[in-house]
Structure 1
Amino acid sequence: MKRIKNQAGITLIELLAALVIGTIVIGLAGSVLVSTFTQADVTSDHASLRQEANIILTKIRSDYSNADESTTLSFDNTENMLFDRNSAPLSEEDFFKFSSFTFTEVRPDGETANEFSYTEGHTPSPSEITFEKGTENRGNRLKVEFTIEDTNGRSFSVDTTIARLGDYEDYQTGTEEEQISDDTEEIISQNVSVFTSRLDFGGDLIDAPDYTGVFNDLVVTDDFNQGATLGFSNLIFNQGISLQTGSLQLGSSSTPGDIIVYGNAEFNGGTRNIYGTSYIYGDLSIQNANIHGDIFVEGNVNATSGVPQFHNGSNIYFTGELLTPSDYPTTNFIKVESIEQKERTITQTPQMHPDEWYSNKGYETTAPENRLRDAPVKHFFVDDFNINTNPQVSVDGLVVISKGDISFSTFGGQDLTNAFLFAPNGTISFNGEKFSGVMISGEGIDMPRGGIDVEFMSINDLFNRESDIPIR
């Protein structure tokens, strides 16, 4: 009998099956790659839009803050572009355009002096506006709102307020007791949302882009739960900062600004991120940090271990001595003769108005005795303010001016939103689920609740008229 021998190879069916499986795998891989590249493009476009919006805002701020010169903005409807007083476009990139904007200039009494707005498809009339120079206009503010788009239809919006600046006594019309101090004027114009000697924070994230945090005492890691994010665009440390453990992040990754340290700065331990341009008027000690902006040091730099990672072309510039081991890489440490001087403008806690100011404004002078949800008014001027029972409802628009402390020791899972809390001689304690608003305290702020949701704001966000601002 003839035997059939084994023959190596594959059948047609096996070949077809392999081709089908291969096609499916290639299709899935291609889909993942396309999705990945698309997401990368979206992220890149958003970053470009944000950067361009910051450039535009900086140009407007630079022009308007110079009260000795008139500021003109004009709009070209064919290019959807704004131009400055020198007829230069605010955006120099062809693939960005304005889809809408509103510029509202407001006098110190809250009245509107000028307004210039545009929405896509509607030509503004007139097509330009001039903000006049002169002493009588130095107290004005410019409310800036605009949205820019790129050629892919993605957009980014800005909503902020710019001060005209100048000496406040040149334009203030009230009595001497009612005039706002220079420090308070800076708190308002720089969008300060936290001013305190210290802040003990038990949560993970303070997300405050476009806002400023000011700290009057030495800041240490333990104040911020070891590894929280202190995400203000601008930070001012009037007595230095000492971070020896943990990974506390400094600055806003989305809208980085300036980090100013008057005193020594110690960024040791952990792998913290530092976003923004830092100015340190003292010595710097640094280990293992991720640096996302230049650091300028008027003093010595001690980098004895743990090499920092430098991103976005950043460097450390210093005027003193550099202390490192012999094998330490020093390419990003650059010796200079001097650094830019950032004037210390916010050091004093604001003060209260005279008592009659609050009574004339309708402030309640008796604390609500724990019945906050039943309180007929939400503006209080009191000796002390203490809520130690759960109001069972969230509270919006609360204003508390206290000669002593402010305490929400038992606020349960409730929210306190759009609030202004002012305790120039005492502490502020909040133990609720969410807080949005402004806190100013002479003795410290305690927010111990883990997982607390914090959205800090500015005084300009809470009060439409300067005459209603309850501090001076």
Structure 2
Amino acid sequence: MREKYISQQSGVTLIELLAALTISALLIGIVYGIFTYSVQSNNKTQSHINLRQEANLIITEMRKRHQEATANYEICYDELLANELPSKQGLSLEKVSVDDVIIDATHCKQEIDPSKALPVKFTLTDQQNRNQFTIDTVIEGRRNSGSVAVEIEKPDKQSFADYLRATGTFVYVNKFELKGSPNIIGETGTVVIREGLKEINGGGSISIEAKEIYIKGNVSIKNSILGNLTEPVSNIYINGDVDIDGGNSTKIFGYLKYTGDLSVKNNKDVMTHPAEKVNSILSFPAYIPALKEESWYREQEYDSDQTLRDNMKYFGESIEFNNDKKQTYENVIIASKGDISLKNVDIIGILFAPQGKVEIDGSSKFTGIIVANEFISSSGNSQVQFKMPGKDVELPF
């Protein structure tokens, strides 16, 4: 009876046990591999960001010294990279060239004339993550001091499109409001804001990168970046007061000229270049152009179909696109009598809302030019990038 009872009991055979262990080992190996790749990828991405920031700091210090020097001076290798700083440990500086002269631990570049442009090249290497970042730029010579007036040419209504093309203006608005974590990127372009900036407060991730930034009215920024992180150096013109709450995340990359009062709190090194108060700045275009006659849009084959597609030309009332497809729509031109709203879409083209607002939300990406009464980035990680339409494209204003 006992033998019969034992023989009827079920159990796990050795083969089943070995199979289970093999499958478990494979799953653990796959999970570990994915985890390891993710960590390495994140480390490499963070390494690239760190290298870019450190390279920019080196160029910033070199530019400051070059443009503040009153006589010829020298640059030595050991002055460029302070490895005792925690953020720079593990980094090495290689292939350093100053004014076409190679410098290293034993050779300096002497007799540098601060009144002349200074070519600089170097490679910053993160040995641990096997990553590199190379800088090849030219530092401008020392500028003459003194107040100057800067003026933007006033276009008439017939030449507004020509004005945008000539100045590379890709954002031209009256009101400007940024929330979430947006990036406005046009390193060789121009941003024009005609009614000031009441506040930019993005928790450290808002940035407006452009070669020229023109703001008419008072400006207040916190936890944000204005100006290009790398070359070309930005010119930032503010016709009004400037209130900067520094902290660790706010930075003004470029030459700041302003007409009112300047207040900088929590970070005296928030500006990478000298700021200058001037007597007068800016003669802005006096208007945002109105929509053309409806007959013009019909002649140019605009329609009122709100289906998002390539080569779309829309004219009509307020329009909203909300699309979760991972697809880029090209050559999209929208001229709206009201608002334009983009949510989770990727569009290349032109957005024109002279009486309304352009709102970019979620993870949307827009590449092209925006002309509107108001621009809003309401949430998420939206991005606006500069791209001027080809000369054969008839602009809708």
The equivalent residue for 1:36 is: 92
State the Cα distance separating 1:404 from its structure 2 match.
0.7
The equivalent residue for 1:379 is: 313
Whichever residue aligns with residue 441 of structure 1, its letter is A
Whichever residue aligns with residue 308 of structure 2, its letter is L
Q: Secondary structure at the match of 2:297?
A: helix
The equivalent residue for 2:244 is: 267
State the Cα distance separating 1:451 from its structure 2 match.
2.8
Q: Is the contact between residue 372 and residue 391 of structure 1 (CA under 8 Å) also seen in structure 2?
A: no
State the Cα distance separating 1:193 from its structure 2 match.
1.0
Tell me the TM-score normalized by structure 1: 0.49
State the Cα distance separating 1:278 from its structure 2 match.
1.5
Q: Secondary structure at the match of 2:334?
A: strand
Distance 1:260 1:94 in 2: 26
The answer to whether the aligner puts 1:470 opposite 2:396 as a matched pair is yes
Distance 2:211 2:196 in 1: 20
The equivalent residue for 2:218 is: 240
User: 1:423 aligned to 346, 353, 358, which one?
Assistant: 353
Q: Is the contact between residue 120 and residue 136 of structure 2 (CA under 8 Å) also seen in structure 1?
A: no
Distance 1:295 1:232 in 2: 17
Tell me the TM-score normalized by structure 2: 0.57
> Map of 1:335-414 to 2, 5 A cutoff?
341-364=280-303, 366-368=304-306, 371-373=307-309, 377-390=311-324, 393-409=327-343, 411=344, 414=345
Distance 2:254 2:155 in 1: 30
Distance 2:346 2:187 in 1: 21
Q: Secondary structure at the match of 1:41?
A: strand
The equivalent residue for 2:70 is: none
Distance 1:95 1:430 in 2: 38
Whichever residue aligns with residue 395 of structure 2, its letter is I
Cα distance change, pair 400–167 in 1 and its aligned pair in 2 (3 A)? closer
Residues 291-321 of structure 1 deviation map (CA, whole Å, 9 limit, x = unaligned):
22221114xxxxxxxxxxxxxxxxxxxxxxx
Distance 2:205 2:337 in 1: 33
Distance 1:434 1:378 in 2: 17
The equivalent residue for 1:251 is: 227
Distance 2:260 2:166 in 1: 26
State the Cα distance separating 1:155 from its structure 2 match.
7.2
Distance 1:296 1:242 in 2: 17
The equivalent residue for 2:368 is: 437
Q: Secondary structure at the match of 1:180?
A: helix
Q: Secondary structure at the match of 1:233?
A: strand
Q: Is the contact between residue 218 and residue 240 of structure 1 (CA under 8 Å) also seen in structure 2?
A: yes
Cα distance change, pair 41–403 in 1 and its aligned pair in 2 (3 A)? same
Distance 1:361 1:415 in 2: 24
Q: Is the contact between residue 340 and residue 353 of structure 2 (CA under 8 Å) also seen in structure 1?
A: yes
Q: Is the contact between residue 186 and residue 346 of structure 1 (CA under 8 Å) also seen in structure 2?
A: no
The answer to whether the aligner puts 1:293 opposite 2:348 as a matched pair is no
Whichever residue aligns with residue 281 of structure 2, its letter is K
Cα distance change, pair 277–92 in 1 and its aligned pair in 2 (3 A)? closer
State the Cα distance separating 1:347 from its structure 2 match.
4.5
State the Cα distance separating 1:280 from its structure 2 match.
0.6
State the Cα distance separating 1:395 from its structure 2 match.
1.0
Whichever residue aligns with residue 237 of structure 2, its letter is I
Distance 2:184 2:214 in 1: 15
Cα distance change, pair 223–421 in 1 and its aligned pair in 2 (3 A)? farther
Q: Secondary structure at the match of 1:462?
A: coil
Cα distance change, pair 360–257 in 1 and its aligned pair in 2 (3 A)? same
Residues 168-205 of structure 1 deviation map (CA, whole Å, 9 limit, x = unaligned):
78xxxxxxxx7235xx5433321111122113242253
Distance 1:167 1:452 in 2: 31
The equivalent residue for 1:150 is: none
The equivalent residue for 1:179 is: 158
Distance 1:407 1:291 in 2: 34
Residues 85-114 of structure 1 deviation map (CA, whole Å, 9 limit, x = unaligned):
xxxxxx999999xxxxxxxxxxxxxxxxxx
State the Cα distance separating 1:396 from its structure 2 match.
1.3
The equivalent residue for 1:228 is: 206
User: 1:207 aligned to 185, 206, 224, which one?
Assistant: 185
Q: Is the contact between residue 185 and residue 383 of structure 2 (CA under 8 Å) also seen in structure 1?
A: no
Cα distance change, pair 286–346 in 1 and its aligned pair in 2 (3 A)? farther
Cα distance change, pair 267–446 in 1 and its aligned pair in 2 (3 A)? same
The answer to whether the aligner puts 1:279 opposite 2:257 as a matched pair is yes
Whichever residue aligns with residue 280 of structure 1, its letter is Y
Distance 2:119 2:208 in 1: 35
The equivalent residue for 2:385 is: 455
Q: Is the contact between residue 154 and residue 285 of structure 2 (CA under 8 Å) also seen in structure 1?
A: no
Q: What runs of 5+ residues in structure 2 fail to find an aligned partner?
A: 1-88, 101-115, 122-133, 138-151
Identical aligned residues as a percent? 18
State the Cα distance separating 1:252 from its structure 2 match.
0.8
State the Cα distance separating 1:367 from its structure 2 match.
3.3
Structure with greater strand share of residues: 2
> Map of 1:310-349 to 2, 5 A cutoff?
341-349=280-288
Cα distance change, pair 433–92 in 1 and its aligned pair in 2 (3 A)? closer
State the Cα distance separating 1:167 from its structure 2 match.
8.9
Distance 1:264 1:166 in 2: 23
Q: Secondary structure at the match of 1:398?
A: strand
Runs ≥4 in structure 1, deviation > 6 angstroms? Answer: 91-96, 153-156, 165-169
Distance 2:120 2:241 in 1: 44
Distance 2:337 2:225 in 1: 33
Cα distance change, pair 430–35 in 1 and its aligned pair in 2 (3 A)? closer
